[in-house]
Structure 1
Amino acid sequence: MRFESAMDQQRHNLKLLEAQSHNSMHETLFGSNWEAHAVKVYTHEVFFDFQEEVKFSVNACSVCGYTPPDSVTNFEVSIVEDANKRKRYVVEYNRRTMDARCTCKLFERKGILCNHIIWICSGKFKEILEKYIFRRWSKNALRNPVYDLNGNLLENYDLTGNSKFGMSRVWPEIYATVGMLKRKDEESDMREFVKLIKEFRENLELNPKPLTKEQELEVLLNCKAPKEIKFLPPKVSKNKGSGKRMVSSKNKAIMKAKKPKRLCAKCKRMSHHDKRNCPNEFAEHPPENQGDTSEEEEEGEEVENEE
């Protein structure tokens, strides 16, 4: 399969993974209700991580302390001993709000329930609560409408049935069909499928529809352009030294040579310095050869000769 750009390759891989998540399920190993629910809602990669936590909850967790809930906060506290890490963790569960927290903070860091919470709460519910299933880890992450920063609906990704038929519906059907043909392994069916696709493509090539520049960008970005765009001109930033050109040492010498000379009150010489920045440290006893030119004057004369 030939791809025109890296974006097409990335979009193809995304649709392939999405189709695999919706049309295949991995085997559950531990007979847990939460594991059976996770294989239906999570993507493959996230399910493998969750399955590891289920394995540790079955093989390595045990309760070594318990505090019953009080009538005020409805919190029950359990101390779970993790034989795998050789540590003890505190799991707090609120019966009223059904919130669970663990001191290992795995859910806060990774978005997946830890084996300690699974060990305590798997017997309380048959399925994972919706509040503990992040949508970005679920199979339906791309099934909801997507909005841009200004709140405009990207219609091409809306799969609720209220928008136009987009590519997000086409790719899963293609991959699902290819997966079924691969499992069936019938050469005649594969040839028939390729023949149908080829005939449909040839019909499209016979009646090509020219695309405008805006439509070409929409195809490239795989989304519709918003009807109204509101933006403000960017603020002009002025950094330190902006707007100034660095002067070279040669140009500095030329500019210095063009300046008129003046008499220094300390060294009593005609030069480009004054009393405040006189290089002569012995101003009270100036050198005898006051009529001689200074080094700065000689440099200035050399620059003039070069010009």
Structure 2
Amino acid sequence: MDQQRHTQKKLDNGNIHTSPKISTHLDIEVHGAQVYSHKVLEEFQEEVKYSIDTCKIRGFSEAGSLEVTTVRDANRDRNYQVTYCQDTFKATCSCRMLERKGIICRHVIWIYSSNGVKKIPELYVVNRWCKDEIRMKMFDYNGEATEDVDIIDGKQIAMSVMWSEIHKTVAMLMGKLKADVDNFSSVIREFKEKLSLYGSPMNKQQQLKKIFGCSASQDITILPPKQ
């Protein structure tokens, strides 16, 4: 978990403090670089470049405010139907890339560029792909928020200070006489006895019961396979 948090923070730092290279003249790519994380932006930029290089119009019809355009994708050697609403900027494509991956496809990008749309509509900016995504809080088995949250309450600060003091004290005992270690151990035992007045800590089975809301089954029906 520590490694995952470290990797996530490293990626977040890169998203915030570095600027990706813009590869085309389209304003919609610039907007993508402003909202998307670097990893997702790479895929979005590929769609932007393909929209310029491989997409051509093959048919067009109107129904009120809706425009239905047949777009030829030379790279895939196929035609796709793109429905676009001028009033709401909503667009759907028969390739269904938006539904599958959460980013607009080259065919929709081509339609937006043809209609002078310079930004990705907010409706199609998926939060989980954004560089400023708000992470969900993480909780331990007691239902308490961990330290990796946006807001830290007074209890968490006090617990952190207490752990720091314990670690510093143990570090001071390194290389000391056995008598000093024994004295410290006796203090810890007295401290544990005082804490016992607030109830004993939960064992593993109790922790699992609190998480899942039920006790573990005593009938074991799934066994390790024979070698």
TM-score band, normalised by shorter chain: 0.5 to 0.7
Instruction: Write the distance in 1 (CA, Å) between the matches of 2:86 and 2:77.
Output: 28
- How has the CA–CA distance of structure 1 residues 42 and 61 changed in structure 2, closer, same or farther, with 3 Å as cutoff? same
Could you tell me which amino acid in structure 2 is paired with residue 66 of structure 1?
Answer: F
SS at match of 1:209: helix
Instruction: Write the distance in 2 (CA, Å) between the matches of 1:49 and 1:156.
Output: 33
Instruction: Write the distance in 1 (CA, Å) between the matches of 2:145 and 2:8.
Output: 18
Is 1:210 matched with 2:166?
yes
Instruction: Write the distance in 1 (CA, Å) between the matches of 2:5 and 2:138.
Output: 18
Following TM superposition, by how much is the alpha carbon of 1:96 offset from its aligned partner in structure 2, in angstroms?
4.3
- CA deviations on 1:175-206 (whole Å, 9 max, x unpaired) are xxxxxxxxxxxxxxxxxxxxxxxxxxxxxxxx
Is 1:39 matched with 2:39?
no
Partner of 1:128: 120
Following TM superposition, by how much is the alpha carbon of 1:232 offset from its aligned partner in structure 2, in angstroms?
2.3
Larger radius of gyration: 1
Following TM superposition, by how much is the alpha carbon of 1:155 offset from its aligned partner in structure 2, in angstroms?
6.7
Structure 2 counterparts to residues 67-216 of structure 1, below 5 A: 67-70=61-64, 74-122=65-113, 123-141=115-133, 143-146=134-137, 154=145, 156-159=147-150, 163-164=151-152, 208-210=164-166
Is 1:232 matched with 2:213?
yes
Following TM superposition, by how much is the alpha carbon of 1:95 offset from its aligned partner in structure 2, in angstroms?
3.5
> For 1:63, which of 57, 66, 76 is the aligned residue?
57
Following TM superposition, by how much is the alpha carbon of 1:9 offset from its aligned partner in structure 2, in angstroms?
2.2
Q: Is the 8 A contact 1:145 1:154 kept in 2?
A: no
Q: Is the 8 A contact 1:156 1:164 kept in 2?
A: yes
User: Higher helix fraction: Structure 1 or Structure 2?
Assistant: 2
Structure 2 gap segments, 5+ residues each: 154-162, 168-209, 222-227
Q: Is the 8 A contact 1:146 1:153 kept in 2?
A: no
Could you tell me which amino acid in structure 1 is paired with residue 128 of structure 2?
Answer: R
Instruction: Write the distance in 2 (CA, Å) between the matches of 1:147 and 1:97.
Output: 37
RMSD over aligned CA atoms reads 3.1
Q: Is the 8 A contact 2:112 2:118 kept in 1?
A: no
Structure 1 gap segments, 5+ residues each: 1-6, 166-206, 212-228, 243-307
Partner of 2:199: none
Could you tell me which amino acid in structure 2 is paired with residue 130 of structure 1?
Answer: E
- How has the CA–CA distance of structure 1 residues 117 and 235 changed in structure 2, closer, same or farther, with 3 Å as cutoff? same
- How has the CA–CA distance of structure 1 residues 75 and 39 changed in structure 2, closer, same or farther, with 3 Å as cutoff? same
Instruction: Write the distance in 2 (CA, Å) between the matches of 1:104 and 1:79.
Output: 12
Following TM superposition, by how much is the alpha carbon of 1:237 offset from its aligned partner in structure 2, in angstroms?
8.2
Following TM superposition, by how much is the alpha carbon of 1:35 offset from its aligned partner in structure 2, in angstroms?
0.6
Higher relative contact order structure (alpha carbons within 8 Å, sequence separation ≥ 6): 2
Following TM superposition, by how much is the alpha carbon of 1:55 offset from its aligned partner in structure 2, in angstroms?
0.3
Q: Percent identity?
A: 33
Partner of 1:49: 43
